[in-house]
């Protein structure tokens, strides 16, 4: 069992440092008394690192990243990571999570192997959770037509009782 606020705290500290370096605004909303989730802590840490790493590297300077915990749906707890980056076009969205798939970002000089999300998807499914992707972003951060952004939501089963 895993306490999300505790797991996230150190990840958010290092994300804040990288955000600052890249001149990105990182906004976080992580309530203290969340229900525990059923998760493999080490694997969940890797998944969060992958998705936060994407937000940090694909969002151009001056953008915003919003990490929010506390949504509940069908006994699942959601961790939402939104950004004001370029978004993922529909033709790429269909392939997200395939091994070695890189979208339009592959044509830029932003490095990557196209494995981060494939690994994330597999690890979360092993925990009986799921990952949703929305582009344009669906969270209440200010995205514009020029910066439609992306929202990833990681859903994990709550511990009952
Ligand atoms: P790796 O994570 O293995 O270093 P990667 O970032 O290219 O490489 P994934 O994390 O699996 O691979 O992401 C797959 C593709 O999805 C990316 O190449 C990019 O096109 C797109 N993508 C993922 N996250 C975002 C995001 N936050 N904004 C825009 N595009 C994204
Ligand atoms: Mg990645």
Structure tokens at 129: 């959770």
Is pLDDT above 90 for 39? Answer: yes
Q: State in Å: Cα 116 to ligand 2 middle.
A: 4
The binding-site residues of ligand 1, defined as CB within 6 angstroms of any ligand atom, are: 50, 54-55, 58, 83, 85-86, 88, 92, 96, 101-106, 112-118, 150
Q: Residue 139: what pLDDT?
A: 83
151 phi, psi to nearest 5 deg: -120, 125
Q: Residue 143: what pLDDT?
A: 84
Which of 105, 119, 137, 147 for mutating ligand 1's site (highest number of atoms within 8 Å of CB)? 105
- Average pLDDT value for residue range 109-131: 95
Q: Residue 107: what pLDDT?
A: 78
Q: Residue 105: what pLDDT?
A: 76
Could you give the CA distance from residue 120 to residue 117 in angstroms, rounded to a whole number? 5
Could you give the CA distance from residue 5 to residue 55 in angstroms, rounded to a whole number? 20
Find where tokens 């929010």 sit: 68
Residue-wise pLDDT tens digits, 69-99: 999 999 999 999 999 999 999 999 999 999 9
* ipTM exceeding the 0.95 mark: yes
Is pLDDT above 90 for 109? Answer: no
pTM of the complete model beyond 0.80: yes
Is pLDDT above 90 for 37? Answer: yes
Q: Residue 57: what pLDDT?
A: 96
Q: Which residues contact 53 (CB under 8 A, 6 or more apart)?
A: 116
Q: Which residues pair with 66 in a beta bridge?
A: 27, 82
Q: State in Å: Cα 33 to ligand 1 middle.
A: 32
Q: Whose CA is nearest to atom 2 of ligand 1?
A: 116
Could you give the CA distance from residue 81 to residue 152 in angstroms, rounded to a whole number? 5
CB 35 within 8 A of CB 157: no
Q: How far is CA 83 from the centre of its chain?
A: 9
Is pLDDT above 90 for 140? Answer: no
CB 95 within 8 A of CB 123: no
Residue-wise pLDDT tens digits, 59-72: 999 999 999 999 99
Which of 91, 112, 153 for mutating ligand 1's site (highest number of atoms within 8 Å of CB)? 112
Q: State in Å: Cα 101 to ligand 2 middle.
A: 10
CB 29 within 8 A of CB 69: yes
Nearest-atom number in ligand 1 for the CA of 101 is 14
């Amino acid at each position: 069992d895993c306490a999300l606020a505790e797991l996230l705290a150190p990840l958010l500290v290092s994300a804040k440092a990288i955000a600052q370096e890249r001149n990105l605004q990182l906004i976080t909303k992580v309530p203290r008394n969340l229900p525990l989730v059923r998760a493999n802590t080490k694997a969940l840490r890797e998944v969060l690192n992958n998705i936060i790493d994407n937000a940090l590297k694909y969002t151009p300077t001056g953008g915003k990243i919003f990490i929010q915990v506390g949504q509940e749906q069908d006994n699942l707890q959601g961790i939402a990571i939104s950004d004001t980056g370029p978004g993922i076009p529909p033709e790429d969205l269909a392939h997200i999570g395939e091994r070695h798939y890189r979208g339009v970002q592959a044509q830029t000089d932003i490095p990557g192997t196209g494995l981060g999300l494939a690994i994330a998807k597999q690890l979360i499914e092993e925990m009986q959770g799921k990952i949703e992707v929305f582009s344009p972003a669906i969270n209440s951060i200010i995205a514009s037509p020029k910066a439609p952004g992306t929202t990833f939501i990681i859903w994990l089963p709550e511990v009952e009782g």
